[in-house]
Amino acid sequence: MREKIIGILGGMGPEATIDLFTKIVKGTKVKKDQDHFRILIDNNPKIPDRTLAIQGKGPSPLPQLIQSARLLEEAGADFIIIPCVTAHYYYEPLKKKIRIPILHIIEETVRFVEKRYKGIQKLGLIATTGTLRTGLFQKAFSSTGIGLILPSSEIQKRYIMEAIYGKKGIKAVGPSEESRMLIIKAAESLILKGAQAIIAGCTEVPLVLKEGDISVPVIDPVSILAQAAMAKAKSPKR
C-alpha cells in the first residue's frame, strides 16, 4: 500500500508553515528516514494578506492560492493542507479549481473538540480580525452547542493583532516574549469571561501560546491538522 503524498500550501506565514511541517515530522513514529511521509511544500509568502483582503483593503489572495494548489497537484500531491486559518475563507472556490481534496483546518478542529472535550460549553477564540469577521469558527461550531467567546474590540486590536501584525509581531520578527505576553493577556481576558479552553485560531498563535501557559487547555488547530494529515496519508490510495 502506497502512502498518500501530503501537499502543504504554505507561506501564510512561513513560521506557521515550518510549525506544521515540524509537527508532522515529530509526530510520525519512525525507525529510519524512509518511514517518514513524503511531503511537498510550496512556501509562497507572496500570497496577498488574507485579513486585508477580507476587510476590503487589499487584493484577493485567491488567484495565488489557486496557483499554489495547482502547483502541488501537478507535482504529485494527493491532498492539500493549508497552515493559515484565514485562508479557509476561500476554501470553497479554491477546492473547485483542483481535483485533489483539501483538509479543512476548522472542520478538523470542531471534530477534535467534540471528541476530546465532551461536555465543554464555552471556548475562547483567539484569531485574526479577518477570521473573526468571516464567522468561520462561529458557523462551524454553531451546530455543536458549544459557545464561542470572542475578544473585545480593544483586546483584539491592542493584544491579538499587535502580537501577530505589529512591528515586533510574529509576522515581522517571529515568535518573541513580547508577542507571547500579548497573546497570554488576550487569553486571560477570555478566561475571565468564562472560557473553559482557548482555541489558537490563527496559525501564528501556537508559536507563542503553549499548553501550560494559561490555566485552561490550549486547542492547537495546527497540531490537529497535522494529525489529520498523517491519518489521511496512511489511508489506502484509491
- By annotation, the residues acting in catalysis are 84, 202
The span from the CA of 66 to the CA of 223, in Å, is 24
How far is C-alpha 141 from the chain's CA centre? 16
Residue type, 112: F
The span from the CA of 151 to the CA of 230, in Å, is 32
∠ CA 23-205-22, rounded to 5°: 15
- Phi and psi torsions of 219, nearest 5°: -95, 115
Instruction: Tell me the residue length of the chain.
Output: 238
The span from the CA of 188 to the CA of 199, in Å, is 12
